[in-house]
Amino acid sequence: MLDDPGLIESRERFWAAALTDERYRSNRIAVAERDCAVFGLAMSGPPERARAGWSVHLYVLYVLAADHGSGAGAALLDAVIQPHESAALLVADPNPRAQAFYRKHGFVPDGTVQSKDGVREIRMVRFLG
């Protein structure tokens, strides 16, 4: 997927829509920047399924590898998902670093697995009582 020559153009179209299209109006987007350069981003929004057991879905959370462990990921997560909200996300598997990060923030695998574009993902959820 990352070697696809159309990846950059596809991502540019996606982010242009996410930032301007009315369909994404209820999404929350946050960026981490330093010296006018973005090094992390996150996006959450309503779940794709209306009857999901959580109120928010984390669709994107990326931080450049050089900034892992800096606290930027946690700050981005907190910026797009409020502490009182139940949430879900899909994370590549295996990806032990990301899965540990989400566990630290209260997410646990719920047993759901999917494969998309050759990437195996597990769903992690955080339910608040």
Q: Does domain 7-126 have CATH number 3.10.450.50?
A: no
User: Hey, CA dihedral for 109, 114, 119, 125, is it positive or negative?
Assistant: negative
pLDDT at 125 over 90: yes
User: For the whole model, what pTM was predicted?
Assistant: 0.90
Q: Where are the domains of the chain?
A: 7-126
Round to whole Å and give the CA distance between 49 and 36: 36
Round to whole Å and give the CA distance between 27 and 16: 13
Per-residue pLDDT tens digits for 70-111: 999 999 999 999 988 999 999 999 999 999 999 999 999 999
Task: Give the pLDDT confidence score for residue 116 in this predicted structure.
Answer: 86
pLDDT band per the 50, 70, 90 thresholds, residue 50: confident
Question: Average pLDDT for residues 54-79, to the nearest whole number?
Answer: 96
Task: Give the pLDDT confidence score for residue 129 in this predicted structure.
Answer: 61
From start to end of the chain, where are the E strands? 28-34, 37-45, 56-63, 87-92, 108-116, 119-126
| Cβ contact 90:82 at 8 Å | no
Average pLDDT across the chain, whole number:
92
